[in-house]
Structure 1
Amino acid sequence: MWLSPAIVILSAFSVIVLGYSIYLSLQNINLVKQAHAFVGLSNFADLLHDGRAWSSVGKTLKFSVIATFVELILGLAIALYFNREFRGRRIVRTLMLIPMIMTPVVSGLIWRIFYDPNAGIINYFLSVIGLGNKYDWLGNVDLAMFAVILSDVWQWTPFVFLILASSLDALPGEPLEAAKVDGATRLQTFWHVVLPLMKPSLLIAFLLRMMDSIKTFDIIYVMTRGGPSLSTETTNMYAYIQGFNNFNISYATVINISITIAITFIFTFIYKKMTSTRANG
């Protein structure tokens, strides 16, 4: 009863936005030509033959998969490291959350300064240790995507750490004590006891970060705007270009509801299958 007002409001907004998006996708709306006509599924047919759109899908998956798995591994490693008592533990854990608190635009601007080929701190440190300098991180086709991924990992690894650290704190003590009595090493205890108990939290962290990374736009827009040579042009970036550079609102809507939502549903389905299999097993 207490949740029903919020559920009704959120559901209404979701239905309205989705319904209007479907309406736009069936139209041919161009803000420059002031064209407005019902075209049915022709926008979807155009998408099937749009090589640039499908190329953006590959870049979206590359960005999301690499960033999410690196964040999971680093988040788990940091959570395990902080799962012990030491002096200043609370202060350090609090400082760990600072990147997550920043807005993606601010984070993108900071990393854009770091990556500056002439005055950036990354090239400076590389030159200090003898690995050369003058790397054009955001202007190189081979480096730009990984540079953007690194900035996303820096910002959102604390989010994964927060979930997994809470899971570690809530682990029951009996299985850990039993493993210790049986003479299991730390690695064996982690692999056979801790990791299986943390699977639900790992799956939740994976799903939340994967769905969020698929929708990433602002940090890419600030750092590269899809360049160089479309090397960081994800689906959301391509939809933005179609909608606000080419003023083709209908086609931009089709890109979002056909690709972004489809990818999100696929990973949600995988998560549901994994959780149902675990429950049945």
Structure 2
Amino acid sequence: MLRTKKIIWFLVPAFILYLAFFIYPSIQSLYVSLHDWSGFAKDMDFIGLKNFKELLGDSLYWQSLRNTLVILFLGGAIIFIIAFLFTSFFTSGIKGKKFFRAVIFYPNVVAPIALATFWSFLYNPRFGLINGFFRLLHLDVLAKTWTGPDLIFWSVLIALIWTYVGFYLIILLSGAEKIPQDLYEVAKIEGANRFQTFFKVTVPLIWDVLVVGIVLWIIGAIKLFEFQFAFSGGTMVPQQIWTNAVYMFLVSFGKRTAIFRLGYGTAIAVTLLLLIIIFTGITRLITKRERIEY
């Protein structure tokens, strides 16, 4: 009984912080989303669900949602496939894996703004390194306007994949490196090849770690924001790379129009929270399986 009370008292500070910094802001956001408010006026005009009804007919909202979902699903699939390949590579006993792991993880210790600026320089159609490399090889046909309307979204997606693949590789490796080598030796004795060993031994034993990685990617992809701003040089972000988080900022703080619409922007934020809850819940549901102990 005394032990239980001690545990409760240790949990109370964390619970208070959770209420103060998550539950209360979420409730406050829902309240603001039901009002027409610029963020400066003293009084808020209650309009009910009109902000959400407006979202249904807002083509820019749906365009940004499409971009968000493409980054979430396509970008996430590519990131985890690459992370799986490197995990298989590093768990095969190759020499120098610490060096290669550090190189792949390096983008995650650099500020996203610096990385976005770096990629915008690479993609520059006039003096960028990518087009310069193609011209050096006399492959001018491959020198494209990478930041033009037709290619900028895919250019940003490639940059995002390069930026975040190291983080999820480290997550998968953190689980894979804890697997006893005896299990791999048994699999080898049984005649399993590298592919079979990875999917029959490694993946089942890092399943919980994989689920955590997927949930983190869902949260990160849906609220992706700063990379696009830095990539565009801090000016107006091209519509082709808007995500819901970017659109929320532009609407809320008068970047789309001269009017600050914090109420409408908060309604967009509420939909982002719902997306995170829905996709996280679905992920937990479809990845639920019996836990394997080792």
> TM-score if structure 2 supplies the norm length?
0.85
1:68 is matched with: 76
In the alignment, structure 1 residue 235 sits paired with structure 2 residue 244: yes
User: Does 25-34 or 89-98 show the bigger shift?
Assistant: 25-34
- What RMSD over aligned residues (CA atoms) do the two structures have, in Å? 2.4
Once the two structures are TM-superposed, the CA of residue 34 in structure 1 deviates from its matched residue by: 8.1
1:177 is matched with: 185
CA distance in 1, matches of 2:187, 2:291: 25
CA distance in 1, matches of 2:94, 2:183: 24
Once the two structures are TM-superposed, the CA of residue 227 in structure 1 deviates from its matched residue by: 5.2
- Map 1:242-253; keep pairs closer than 5 Å: 242-244=251-253, 245=255, 246=257, 247-253=260-266
The CA deviation string for residues 230-253 of structure 1, in whole angstroms up to 9 with x for no partner, is 211111111111111231110011
Once the two structures are TM-superposed, the CA of residue 89 in structure 1 deviates from its matched residue by: 3.5
1:137 is matched with: 146
1:255 is matched with: 268
CA 1:178–1:91 in structure 2 vs 1: closer, same or farther (change >3 Å)?
A: closer
> TM-score if structure 1 supplies the norm length?
0.89
CA distance in 2, matches of 1:2, 1:35: 40
In the alignment, structure 1 residue 219 sits paired with structure 2 residue 227: yes
CA distance in 2, matches of 1:205, 1:126: 36
The CA deviation string for residues 14-60 of structure 1, in whole angstroms up to 9 with x for no partner, is 12211221221111113588883111111111112222212211111
CA distance in 1, matches of 2:92, 2:118: 32
Structure 2 gaps of 5+ residues are 1-8
CA distance in 2, matches of 1:100, 1:193: 29
CA 1:60–1:121 in structure 2 vs 1: closer, same or farther (change >3 Å)?
A: same
CA distance in 2, matches of 1:143, 1:202: 31
2:167 is matched with: 159
2:277 is matched with: 265
Q: Between Structure 1 and Structure 2, how many residues are aligned?
A: 277
In the alignment, structure 1 residue 16 sits paired with structure 2 residue 37: no
Secondary structure of the structure 1 residue equivalent to 2:290: helix
In the alignment, structure 1 residue 98 sits paired with structure 2 residue 123: no
Q: Is the 8 A contact 1:226 1:232 kept in 2?
A: no
User: Does 91-100 or 61-70 show the bigger shift?
Assistant: 91-100
- Identity percentage over the alignment? 28
CA distance in 2, matches of 1:198, 1:242: 41
Partner amino acid, structure 2, of 1:214: I
CA distance in 2, matches of 1:20, 1:4: 22
Partner amino acid, structure 2, of 1:36: M
CA 1:103–1:193 in structure 2 vs 1: closer, same or farther (change >3 Å)?
A: same
62, 67, 74: which one aligns with 1:59: 67
CA distance in 1, matches of 2:155, 2:236: 13
Q: Is the 8 A contact 2:228 2:237 kept in 1?
A: no
In the alignment, structure 1 residue 279 sits paired with structure 2 residue 290: yes
Secondary structure of the structure 1 residue equivalent to 2:36: strand
CA distance in 1, matches of 2:129, 2:249: 31
Q: Is the 8 A contact 1:29 1:36 kept in 2?
A: yes
Once the two structures are TM-superposed, the CA of residue 226 in structure 1 deviates from its matched residue by: 7.2
CA distance in 1, matches of 2:266, 2:223: 14
Once the two structures are TM-superposed, the CA of residue 216 in structure 1 deviates from its matched residue by: 0.4
2:118 is matched with: 110
